[in-house]
Amino acid sequence: MFSKILIANRGEIALRIIRACREMGIKSVCVYSEADRDGPWLEQADEAYCIGPGPSNKSYLDISRVMATAEVSDVDAIHPGYGFLAENAHFAEVCESSGISFIGPSPEAIRLLGNKASARDLAVKSKVPLLPGTKELVEDEKEAIEIANDIGYPVIVKAAAGGGGRGMRVAHNEIALVNGYMQARTEAATAFGDDGVYIEKYLERPRHVEIQIISDSHGNYVYCGERDCSLQRRHQKLVEEAPSPVLTPELRQKMGETAVRLCKAAGYVTAGTAEFLLDKNGDFYFMEVNTRIQVEHTVSELVTRTDLIRAQIMAAAGEKLPFTQEDVEVRGHAIEVRINAEDPDNGFRPSPGTITDLFIPGGPGVRWDSHIKVGYTIPPTYDSMVAKLLVFADDRPQAIARMRRALGELKIEGVKTTTPLHQRIMNDGQFIKGDVDTGYIENVLLAK
Ligand code: ADP
């Protein structure tokens, strides 16, 4: 097993990894930027080193600075968390060639599955259901129009290297397609340094259901149930729950086995998530694989009683997973809400600033994954998520009641947060019935 791990990330996920390391008797090393000097998670790490200025390309994304710190602090492995370098195949390669384990998939598996276009190709070969769309990248507007005419509107233009809901445009007709095609390419070039896009059929009002998988180098592949992430704004998740209110045990098994089949075909070892869209008829379509730990992994940890970060570290160290498929049973119900420092009354504008007062919810079945404390100043430089509030209960109605109670206790003063929106969701009749889709928040709840 490793004795020291460098965490190439910040905020709540850095703290989550520090916690796993401590429980495993592994020392943790954090790298941080000048904007994160006062990051409360740094106090919890065994060592912390400043590697550059606030902008991520000068610190968290600067491979040479991260690697120099890894060498100096003499770590055995690097955990990239999510975002930043987590899905960067080149970084995984640099780690490998420096004799430092990358806690994630192999560079080949990242290249194969991390790119949405090549993942689609592998899905076709592995008989994984897909929405109609292109196999190759779309080179120009003319080709885009031909493809859309072929598969029928509405269509969605997606960045092959995309993530976080960026580089995507929906088009219901040719004019919107021509505009959307150019916008998606420009946005993708800026955000991901890669302007490759492809086109697929746009499904109206689907649910987003994803399968968590984890595997080791001994051929043990396990799916840890699903997460329903249908509550989104601008294609970004706000609330996640497990199990999905609409999945039958048969469908769960079918989707789980499909995800495992795809990951096996890619020789994928570690934690990953296969994302699907599910329509009203119970038909599901593959979207992409996230080749990293996700924000919402916590939901699956609660319903399957696993520790996915620990499992990831064990898999990277060449050990066997501490469980097999037979051991993993989905029990109870978990809900997570993302608390972002944003103003829901003002177009969700980021609301960085200093936290002047804080009360953290607790009691039975409550989990709080966050790095914030009173006096901490949330920098404007990074993602606005400041906490994940989770609840776990025997069934969905009790979990919703528990989340209402926990949100009622939560107090974050000094900055605006998404807490009032979550309160509204937890009291919304349609959410309570489990009758929502990916457009629900924008088209119904916020349109009221
Ligand atoms: P990202 O990597 O940016 O998160 P995804 O491919 O995971 O992008 O898609 C994010 C969200 O966009 C999905 O959860 C869904 O709401 C919407 N979406 C993506 N593709 C489609 C599609 N073909 N039809 C309908 N909605 C889609």
Joined together, the tokens standing for residue 42 give: 């740094």
Q: Is residue 57 predicted with pLDDT exceeding 90?
A: yes
Return the CA Rg of the chain: 21
Mutate to test the pocket of ligand 1, among 438, 442, 443 (most ligand atoms within 8 A of CB): 438
Distance of alpha carbon 426 from alpha carbon 421, whole angstroms:
9
Measure CA 98 to chain center: 28
Secondary structure element (H or E) that encloses residue 120, with its range: helix 116-125
CATH, range 207-445: 3.30.470.20
What residue spans define the domains of the chain? 4-103, 132-201, 207-445
Give me the pLDDT at residue 192, please. 84
Distance CA 302, CA 298 (A): 6
Inform me whether the pLDDT recorded for 262 exceeds 90: yes
CA 429 – CA 237 distance, rounded (Å): 20
Please state which CATH number belongs to domain 132-201: 3.30.1490.20
Distance CA 46, CA 33 (A): 17
Give the chain's end-to-end CA distance (angstroms, integer). 54
CA of 206 to the centre of ligand 1 (A): 10
Task: State pLDDT tens for residues 329-388.
Answer: 999 999 999 999 999 999 999 999 999 999 999 999 999 999 999 999 999 999 999 999
Whether residue 128 has pLDDT greater than 90: yes
CATH ID of 4-103, from 3.40.50.20, 3.30.540.10, 3.40.470.10, 1.20.1250.20: 3.40.50.20
Where residue 34 falls (left for φ over 0; alpha for ψ -120 to 50; beta otherwise) is: alpha
* pTM assigned to the model: 0.96
- Position 344 scores a pLDDT of 93
287 lines ligand 1 (CB under 6 A): yes
Q: What is the pLDDT of residues 292-338, one digit of tens each?
A: 999 999 999 999 999 999 999 999 999 999 999 999 999 999 999 99
Higher pLDDT, 134 or 23: 23
Decide whether any atom of ligand 1 lies within 6 Å of the 235 Cβ: yes
CA of 171 to the centre of ligand 1 (A): 14
> Quick check: 163 pLDDT over 90?
no
pLDDT exceeds 90 at position 162: no
- Dihedral (CA of 233, 238, 243, 245) sign: negative
Q: What is the largest CA-CA distance in the chain?
A: 59
Could you tell me if the CB of 7 is within 6 A of ligand 1? no
Q: Percent of the chain scored above 70 by pLDDT?
A: 100
> How many A from CA of 55 to the centre of ligand 1?
27
Structure confidence at residue 193 (pLDDT): 84
The letter for the amino acid at 251 is L
- Say how far apart CA 431 and CA 14 lie, in whole Å: 32
- pLDDT value, residue 136: 85
